[in-house]
Amino acid sequence: MEKSLFQRFAPVIRSLSPAELVGAPSLYDKLTLAEQGDLRVCYVPFEYINPEARVVIVGITPGHTQMLNALKEARRQLDQGATNEVVLKAAKATGAFSGTMRPNLTGLLDAVGIHKWLGISSCTELFQSAAHLVQTTSVLRNPVFVKGENYNGTPNMTKNALLQKQLTTYFAEDVAALPKAVFVPLGDKVAEALHYLATQGLMDRSRILDGLPHPSGANAERIAYFMGRKPRHELSVKTNPEKLDEARTGLQKRVLALA
């Protein structure tokens, strides 16, 4: 496991003040990896790779809250004298999906047959007894902030030089370390980034399972229809059933092909 960044920043994490551990501005200065104009990339100890993972759930980038939670856990582990691997594994675990997003995500994965491919009864087990089969990560592994706010996809990470480097350096490392896994992007911008990596020869396009509605609660109607919980005649005009039907059928075929 690559630990060079962690070894560089572990002394910094050990030295953080109580105010910095809850987000004082000096925290971001101490953990800055790169800057360009309004963009800032900060280090977070998310290098841990689960070598057994067969499904990788890919978000866009850690935000402020995820960053702070990971740093607090890393600091706690460091204070207890944990090994580097234990520290990184514990910090990474704070990034697992929780709240309403998790049941949405697992239901969507079940709807396209991921649970059958994995040989489990439901993808809810990925966050319980089958946790060894999943890796949660972000296509921009380290948090990106724009004018101090969480990055939301603008500027385009495949066209901005600083973000492109983050993508092709750190996330490409994760892809290379998980040669048997499939990657499930959450959102169109993450899917675009994965396909960009495929065009660069950095990942196999057949391992990208894109097309799921984003599991955010804001997508409740689209999720309900995708999973067969809401009939077409009850959909609002904001939901395109043909597009969702096509995505679901296509993903089901691709998952069957994995076997």
Q: Hey, where are the domains in the chain? A: 4-258
Element (H, E) at 184: strand 182-185
Sorting pLDDT into bands at 50, 70 and 90, what band is 95? low
Helix (H) or strand (E) holding 76: helix 64-79
Q: Running DSSP on this structure, what letter comes out for residue 213? A: P
Has domain 4-258 been given CATH number 1.10.1740?
no
Instruction: Give the per-residue pLDDT at 138.
Output: 94
On the question of pLDDT at 51 being above 70, the answer is yes
* pLDDT of residue 1 exceeding 50: no
**98 has a pLDDT exceeding 90:** no
Residue 146 backbone dihedrals phi, psi, to 5 degrees:
-115, 115
Query: Residues 151, 73, 7, CA angle at the centre, nearest 5°?
Result: 80
Rounded Cα distance between 101 and 32, Å, is 29
Please, is 17 exposed, middle or buried when counting C-beta atoms within 10 Å of its C-beta (0-12, 13-18, 19+)?
exposed
pTM for this structure? 0.92
Q: Above pLDDT 90, what percent of the chain?
A: 90
